[in-house]
Amino acid sequence: MRITELFQRGEFVLTAEVGPPKGVELDHLIKDAHEYLKTRVHALNVTDNQSSVMRTGSLATCKVLKDEGLLPIFQITCRDRNRIALQSDVLSAALLGIENLLLLTGDYTTLGDHPQAKPVFDLDSVSLIHAVKRLEEGFDIAGNAVDGAPPKFAKGAVVSPCSDSVDVQLAKMEAKVKAGCEYFQTQGVYEPEKFIKFMEQAKQFGVPVQLGLIIPKNVGMCRYMNANVAGVHVPDEMIKELQADKEKTKAGDTGVEICARLIKECKDYAQGVHIMSLGWENRIPEILDMAGIAPITPVV
């Protein structure tokens, strides 16, 4: 099932994110997915060596989740593989019945735990989207014909609506759409006004956008993101909100409340929500409940 079908049906598409471990024991990940996510979100992003930290591959983890009856979104970054490997992995995904992709440029190598590695970036998000589209048309990007029936995917990408250079982001978004991108997940939003303003511009592209949320766990995390994470800005009032009731924040309740509120304020302008829970998968049901979003019927 390609999630583009859900968008086409007019569904408010819900997705969450899981990160494979630096190892081969996936039990915990699978358990959480079943318990908290299967009936609350339509699909699950599986990150690709996120933040340049080496972990078990997204493709293999996607397959495991698929076999568990879940709907995975294969995240692919351009940091670690050249165009040969990338196209090969895309075909491998199709072979394994994985039809949902999120195509990213990727964080730079020095941000992670192998800072000495050689950064590849042979392709970037735009050329990768294009490459996938070409494969769907039956050709690789060197012009060779694909053997047999070409694959078909739901091609997604990322955009940062709250970036301080939002005009530059919009230009990139347009390029991605023209290259063949069919849906977007945003970077974490904490400022509804900015998101709404962004969507006013973005809607001209006619492509569905999911509101991206990162659960604000504590003040420290917010300050870190403000200083270091691109496209993310937690406003002062929100930080004060987290500071106000320390016990509540510690219990994770403030963060959950904030997320729910953000969904309520923004959902009329978005075509879905993507929650990045950073290990707090178990709070997702609560967030969706508070936001007034009912459980879903699993699509697989």
Partner 1 sequence: MLITQLKSKETIEALAQGKTVIINCHGCKEVYFAEHEADELQKDLNGVTQIITTDYICNPDNLKLQLQKHTDVINAADTILVFSCGVGVQTVAAQFEGKKVYSCCDTYPLPGFQGVTPLNVDCGQCGECYLNGTGGICPITACSKSLLNGQCGGAKEGKCEVDKEMECGWERIYRKLEKLNKLDNMKYEAPKVRNYHNPNAEEPII
Partner 2 sequence: MEDYTKFKLKRKEELDAVLAGKDNLFVVACNKCFKELDSFDEPECGLFEEIAKEQGKNIVGSAQVDFLCNEPLTSKSFQGLIPQETENVFVISCGLGIQTIAGMAEIPVYAASDSVVVDGYHGMALTTTLCEACGQCYLNITGGICPVVDCSKSLLNGQCGGAKNGKCEVDKEMDCGWQLIYERLEKQGRLQELLDKPVELRDYSKVNHKFVSEYVKSVREERYEGYYGGIHPTEFKELSEHIAVVPFPDPVNVVIPMSQHAGAPAEPIVTVGQQVKMGQKIAQAAGFISSAIHASVSGTVVAVEPRLHPISGLDSLAIVIQSDGKNTLDESVKPAGDIDTLSADEIIEIVREKGVVGMGGAGFPTAVKLKSPKPIELVLLNGCECEPILTADHQVLLAYADEVIYGLKAMMKASGAPKGVIAIEDNKLDAVELLQAKTADIENIEIVVAKTKYPQGAEKMLIKRVMGKQVPSGGLPMDVGAIVCNVSTAKAVSDAIQLGMPLVERVVTVSGNRMNKPGNYLVKIGTSVKDIVNHCGDVKGDDVTVKIGGPMMGFAQANLNVPMLKCSNGIIAVETTVKEAVECIKCGRCADVCPMELRPLYFTKYALSEDWEGMKTQNTMDCIECGCCEYICSSKIPIVERIKIGKTAIREGK
* Spatial separation of the C-alpha atoms in residues 69 and 261, rounded to whole Å: 31
Q: Show the DSSP H helices in the chain as ranges.
A: 3-8, 27-32, 58-67, 83-95, 125-136, 166-179, 192-202, 219-228, 236-244, 246-250, 253-266, 284-290
Instruction: State in angstroms the smallest separation of the CB of 165 from partner 2.
Output: 19
Residue among 25, 27, 147, 167 that touches partner 1 (CB under 8 A): 167
Which lies closer to partner 2 via its Cβ, residue 110 or residue 282? 110
Count the Cβ atoms, other than its own, within 10 Å of residue 143.
7
Instruction: State in angstroms the smallest separation of the CB of 78 from partner 2.
Output: 16
235 to each of 3, 216, 225, 226, 251, how far by Cα in Å? Answer: 32, 12, 11, 9, 21
Hey, which residues between 39 and 58 contact partner 1 (CB under 8 A)? none
Instruction: State in angstroms the smallest separation of the CB of 229 from partner 2.
Output: 19
Instruction: State in angstroms the smallest separation of the CB of 116 from partner 2.
Output: 4
Cα Rg of the chain, angstroms: 19
Binding status of residue 82 toward partner 2 by CB under 8 A:
no
Binding segment toward partner 2, per CB under 8 A, in 29-37, 108-116, 209-217, 237-245: 108-116
The amino acid that residue 197 corresponds to is K
Phi and psi, residue 298, nearest 5°: -55, 140
Residue among 24, 25, 116, 142 that touches partner 1 (CB under 8 A): 142
Phi and psi, residue 70, nearest 5°: -105, 170
Size of the site for partner 2 (CB under 8 A): 7
Binding status of residue 83 toward partner 1 by CB under 8 A:
yes
Instruction: State in angstroms the smallest separation of the CB of 40 from partner 1.
Output: 26
Binding segment toward partner 1, per CB under 8 A, in 31-39, 119-127, 264-272, 276-284: 119-127
* Spatial separation of the C-alpha atoms in residues 243 and 245, rounded to whole Å: 6
The amino acid that residue 97 corresponds to is G
Residues near partner 1 (CB under 8 A):
83, 104-108, 110-111, 119, 121-127, 129-130, 141-143, 158-160, 163-165, 167-169, 171-172, 174-175, 178-179, 187, 228-231
Judged by the rule CB under 8 A, the positions of this chain that interact with partner 2 are 109-110, 115-119
